[in-house]
């Protein structure tokens, strides 16, 4: 295997693991992240030594740097596919869309709803906490009922009780 190909494979593997490990650590998967870091640092040392031993060819360093970027992209894509953790979604609809909570509940979502006031009148604010893997389906379900809904999502750091606690 050529030096360039080895650099690409090692660097992409290392940085992909680095990206996924960081996200796992932030989401509270500490032990998995720690185990990954032990493997990751070994790959890093081998790849970096390969580059340092072959500095006579500047292309090796360029490939090393470009492979870093590719590893970040791949790591983020893997994490998106894993969709670990939970997401909080707020859906804001106009007054006449008050039935959205019932529709979402019939599809298995836990929904908290309350009335709010917007610039143009009464609005319904719906809050749903759900596993991240279900977020795309929730968006489809909401938009099927109200294509003009305002939807915003964010990650909760900690939660206790409620609909999700009863289901697990």
Sheet with 121-131: strands ordered across: 111-118, 121-131, 86-94, 150-154
- Please list the alpha-helical segments (H only) found in 29-95: 30-53, 58-82
What is the C-alpha separation between 53 and 43, in angstroms, rounded?
A: 15
> pTM higher than 0.75, yes or no?
no
20 CB-contact burial (10 Å; exposed 0-12 / middle 13-18 / buried 19+): buried
The CATH number that applies at residue 131 is 3.30.70.120
Structure tokens at 107: 């599809």
pLDDT score, position 167:
56
Does 78 share its domain with 27?
A: yes
* Residue-level pLDDT, tens digit, the chain, 168 residues: 698 899 999 999 999 999 989 888 888 889 999 999 999 999 999 999 999 999 898 898 899 999 999 999 999 899 888 888 889 999 999 877 668 999 999 999 999 999 999 888 889 999 999 999 999 999 999 999 999 999 999 988 777 777 665 555
Domain that holds residue 49: 3-82
Does 14 share its domain with 65?
A: yes
pLDDT score, position 64:
92
């Amino acid at each position: 295997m050529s030096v360039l190909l080895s650099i690409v494979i090692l660097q992409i593997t290392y940085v992909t693991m680095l990206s996924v490990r960081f996200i796992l650590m932030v989401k509270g998967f500490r032990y998995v992240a720690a185990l990954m870091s032990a493997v990751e640092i070994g790959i890093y040392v081998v790849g970096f030594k390969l580059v340092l031993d072959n500095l006579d060819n500047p292309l090796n360093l360029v490939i090393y740097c470009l492979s870093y970027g590719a590893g970040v992209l791949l790591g983020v894509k893997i994490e998106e596919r894993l969709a670990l953790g939970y997401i909080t979604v707020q859906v804001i609809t106009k007054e006449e869309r008050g039935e959205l909570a019932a529709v979402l509940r019939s599809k298995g979502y836990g929904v908290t709803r309350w009335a709010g006031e917007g610039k143009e009148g009464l609005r319904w604010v719906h809050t749903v906490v759900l596993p991240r893997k279900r977020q795309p389906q929730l968006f489809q379900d909401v938009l099927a009922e109200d294509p003009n809904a305002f939807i915003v999502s964010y990650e909760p750091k900690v939660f206790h009780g409620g609909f999700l606690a009863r289901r697990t």
